[in-house]
Structure 1
Amino acid sequence: MKRRLMLTFMVVFFSNGYTFASEPLDYYIISSQAQPFQIETDGSSHRGIVTDIVKAVFDDSQYEINYHTYPFNRMIDKLDARENPNWVTYGSPSWGNIQSVNLSEEPIYNVKHVLLSSGKKPFEFKTIDDLYGKAVVLLIGFEYPNLEPYIKQGKLNEIRVKDYSAAFRVLNRAPGDTVFVEMESRIKYNLNEQKLNFDDYQMQDFGSVITNYPIHLAFDPKMDPKLQSFINQRLAQMKDDGQLDDIVQRYL
């Protein structure tokens, strides 16, 4: 009789949807500036190269992703303060902030920077000297250590904008006098999203100034070693079975 009651309890327990408690995983997103790595709409509808990879890492695991979306500078403050331990975002060893301190063993993408200008007054870029006297359009919040010496010396003028729409507007208003320095993947994605004609712009490789570098998942510097080991193992599996490449190709 006791055994029958226990079996009945177990059937009721699981049929009512009871499960073991999940563990939170706090994932940080840059609002409006990180497409196609992180794409969000009003703090929801999360997707993008990094976001899809994070989702795949924790698919069918005990971890439940909590999404946190902030402007870039505020996000960095939140990460530094460790308001939520064991956080995840993305970063690179080339960056000089909290996003470069503790990175995944596997890179998830290789970044290439380009120079975008108006096609109305094309010019040939070979060295940084070709930009002297021009205004360089850069995104607010991001650091560009390779350009800082030239800006401080007054050889380059600096225009900071909040998003890609503003950057494209500046190029169109001042053709020949302005250039936009940014990741190739981000520029192409945002030109497509805004239904702008690629032929109206001139895109040139900027690798002689900002060399290509890898993007990784970035972790809380004090992340639980077991959690970090789990993420690294999953990324290695995803690389081996081609899932990482498949995710990247969705957005390129």
Structure 2
Amino acid sequence: MKHQKHRWLTTFAKRIACLLFLLTFALGTCASPASDENVFRFNISPNGYPPYLIVDQDAPSGIMWDVVSLITERLGCQIVAKKVPRKRVDQMLLDGYIDGTSRAEEWTHEPEKFLFTEPVVKVQEVFFTPKDAGKIYHSPEDLFSKTVITHLGYMYPALEPHFESGAIKRFDVSRGRDMFIFLLHGDRFDTAVVNLLVGKWILKNEGLQDQFTISSGGISSYGFRVMLRKESKAFADKFNAELARIRENGELDAILANYR
């Protein structure tokens, strides 16, 4: 009888310990302030960033949205989409209006103020040039005295010194699609620097695949991550662990395949 009672108490204690572990895991998992601890407010920007963030449908989608929503759901968080303009993102993240945004660490003005997850995917920036121009640019030096179309608010570490010196002129455009339209119909533009996957996605959807050439090598390659507040380390650790798991079991590859 005593033996059975001891076994029952041991089993009960194990169950309590398990429940406490799960409770500890759930509490404070999400990166939101305490009042919204089960919500993760993720910036998808007003125009999105297809195919990483697609916003012109009934519900958000895209590589980063699918990955982040999958992981946050498994961490017990409800993901909420927020559309914040690029120039306001950093401050609104620090202020707690949003809890995360997609970003390469190298694209951030003051990365030391933030916490970054492990890379979800690699992003490569290349040059897109109209075929009828008869030129292909491969390196920053090829662009001296040229005008390059860039995305408004974006940083290009490989080109920034040349923009600042005036060796290369920069022309900012707010929408990815418009970068190619300006390039096709504007006589004073020479090329556009665009994320390879983003550029291919736009050209495919606009039926413009045959009108552009792409540089054979990228000017840069960075890890595309989720940028968080510094105090979100507990969330970042759990996010990274689940990211490693879906990378290993093939779930991440399945998501990527949907957008290629």
| TM-score interval (norm. to shorter) | 0.7 to 0.9
Given the alignment of the two structures, is residue 62 of structure 1 paired with residue 107 of structure 2, yes or no? no
**What residue identity is the alignment partner of 1:82?**
G
TM-aligned CA distance change 1:218 to 1:104, over 3 Å: same
- Runs (5+) with no aligned partner, structure 2: 1-35
RMSD over equivalenced CA pairs, Å: 2.3
> Is 1:219–2:219 an aligned residue pair?
no
Distance of 1:88 and 1:99 partners within structure 2: 14
| Matches of 2:92 and 2:43, distance apart in 1 | 9
Question: What's the secondary structure of 1:31's corresponding residue?
Answer: coil
Q: 3-state SS of the aligned residue for 1:205?
A: coil
| Cα separation, partners in 2 of 1:133 and 1:45, compared to 1, 3 Å | same
Structure 1 residue 166: Cα displacement: 1.8
The residue aligned with 1:53 is 67
In structure 1, give the amino acid aligned to 2:251.
Q
Distance in 1 of aligned mates of 2:168 and 2:233 = 44
Q: 1:155 to 1:73 in 2, by over 3 A?
A: same
Matching residue of 1:243? 251
Q: For residue 34 of structure 1, what is the amino acid of its counterpart? A: Y
Q: Whole-Å Cα distance in 2 between the matches of residues 148 and 233 of structure 1?
A: 34
Higher mean C-alpha displacement, 179-188 vs 233-242: 233-242
SS of the residue corresponding to residue 40 of structure 1 reads: coil
**Unpaired stretches in structure 1, ≥5 consecutive residues:** 1-20
- TM-score when scaled to structure 1? 0.80
Specify the SS of the correspondent of 1:62: coil
State the distance in 1 between where 2:239 and 2:142 align. Answer: 44
Larger relative helix fraction: 2
The aligned residue for residue 33 of structure 2 is none
State the TM-score, normalizing by the size of structure 2. Answer: 0.77
Query: Percent identity over the alignment?
Result: 21
Say which SS state the counterpart of residue 58 (structure 1) adopts. Answer: helix
The one-letter code matched in structure 2 to 1:249 is A
Map 1:1-252 onto structure 2 (within 5 A): 23-41=38-56, 45-84=59-98, 87-97=99-109, 101-105=114-118, 107-174=119-186, 177-196=189-208, 198-207=209-218, 210-223=219-232, 225=234, 227-252=235-260
> Structure 1 residues 163, 250: closer, same or farther in 2, change over 3 A?
same
What amino acid is aligned across from residue 248 of structure 2 in structure 1? D
Does the 8 Å CA contact 2:49/2:198 hold for their aligned counterparts?
Answer: yes
